[in-house]
Amino acid sequence: MEKSNKVLVGSDVVDAFAEELSNVGQTLPRHIDVNPENVEHGLAKLVLTLIELIRKLMEKQAMRRMEGGSLTDEEVERLGESLLQLEEKMAELKDFFGLKNEDLNLDLGPLGRLM
């Protein structure tokens, strides 16, 4: 006997899902510009945004570990140097692609801004 993978949902769940899908259409652009220059810039912006998010998370985790006393002085020094180098490289890449700190954020629609 085969097992069925069907999931039964009520009409209220289906209606709510359909409404949410219609709202997504209002936040997404109707037209996407596929100019090669814009694609490169958009991709650079996305990648740098993700790197910036990860960098901020790493900094917060490092602060927690330093405050908790779980790092040696040598580890704190290496961590500080690494984060400083990453910040400098990010500044260099933002300059190269003509981006500012404000540009490195994503609008998540109803969830708000990423950072």
Residue 16 lies in a domain: no
Total domains, the chain: 1
Paired tokens of 2: 């085969």
Residue 29 lies in a domain: no
The string of DSSP letters for 3-60 reads PP------HHHHHHHHHHHHHHHHHS-S-----HHHHHHHHHHHHHHHHHHHHHHHHH
Q: Mean pLDDT over all residues of the chain?
A: 78
The string of DSSP letters for 63-98 reads HHHHHHT-S-HHHHHHHHHHHHHHHHHHHHHHHHHT
Residue 90 lies in a domain: yes
Let me know if 104 is exposed, middle or buried by CB neighbors in 10 A (0-12, 13-18, 19+): buried
User: What's the gap between Cα 73 and its chain centre?
Assistant: 31
pLDDT in tens, 48-62: 988 888 888 888 898
Residue 15 lies in a domain: no
pLDDT in tens, 10-53: 667 677 766 666 665 555 555 556 677 678 888 888 889 888 88
Residue 26 lies in a domain: no
Residue 19 lies in a domain: no
> Alpha carbon of 109 to those of 20, 51, 57, 105: distances in Å?
12, 21, 22, 12
Q: Tell me, what's the pLDDT at 92? A: 94
Residue 9 lies in a domain: no
Query: Domain limits at 70?
Result: 35-111
Can you tell me the distance from the alpha carbon of 67 to that of 54, in angstroms, rounded to the nearest whole number?
A: 20
Residue 2 lies in a domain: no
Can you tell me the distance from the alpha carbon of 18 to that of 61, in angstroms, rounded to the nearest whole number?
A: 39
